[in-house]
Chain A
Amino acid sequence: EVQLVESGGDLVQPGGSLRLSCAASGFIFTSHWMSWVRQAPGKGLEWVANINFDGSDKNYVDSVKGRFTISRDNAANSLSLQMNSLRADDTAVYYCVRNGGAFDMWGQGTTVTVSS
């Protein structure tokens, strides 16, 4: 069974940092691009970033460029999102998603709240 399990969400102050993780299982991790998608409370879905098979190609939505870094550890079948300089508008549920654009499998999400 394909599983994506996110962790690391928390309450953090504006300007702070947080690292999200996603543990993947049930599929060949190295065969898939991976992505992060977020959803602010009561709002729609927003693609955040993706990464290719070996981590050599990364793409970001403009609003997080220079602040967020996506990475992967293929030996551990894990995906990460390092989030720095967090702002209130980064508050959202963050989903780990399989694939770089045709998002076919989603984790259950982890909640990030940026507030003082």
Chain B
Amino acid sequence: DIQMTQSPSSLSASVGDRVSITCRASQGIRNHLGWYQQKPGKAPKRLIYSASYLQSGVPSRFSGSGSGTEFTLTISSLQPEDFATYYCLQNNSYPRTFGQGTKVEIK
């Protein structure tokens, strides 16, 4: 199975900060990676697909980069509605696997 390791597991940041979350795959997954945002009690929402493509309707402050084994989700200027938990997901092979999540909290 491909292990997806996210870092950090949590972070505290202020509105307006630039925030980056990293996801490392235990083996190469090309660009078969997505990023998801989940707020408490809600279903996850896709932000990024194929590592760097912005989902329609998602603000442009979100961006994704990377290929192979290392990937990054960046929020260029954190907004109040961005405080949530973020997950990466590899869909290169079975079983599909998620990172353990990164909780973004208000400083």
> Which residues of A does B touch, CB under 8 Å?
35, 44-47, 50, 59-62, 95, 100-109
Contacts and interface: CB of A to CB of B under 8 A. Distances in A.
24 contacts: A44-B87, A45-B38, A45-B98, A45-B101, A46-B98, A47-B96, A50-B96, A59-B94, A59-B95, A95-B43, A100-B91, A101-B32, A102-B46, A102-B49, A102-B91, A103-B36, A103-B44, A104-B46, A104-B49, A104-B55, A105-B46, A106-B43, A107-B43, A109-B43
Range class of the B interface residue count: 20 to 34
B69 interface: no
Given A44-B98, A47-B97, A106-B44, 17 more contacts: A35-B96, A44-B99, A44-B101, A45-B87, A45-B89, A47-B96, A50-B96, A62-B95, A101-B32, A101-B89, A101-B91, A102-B32, A102-B46, A103-B34, A103-B44, A103-B46, A109-B43
Nearest to A63: B95
Interface in B35-49: 36, 38, 42-46, 49
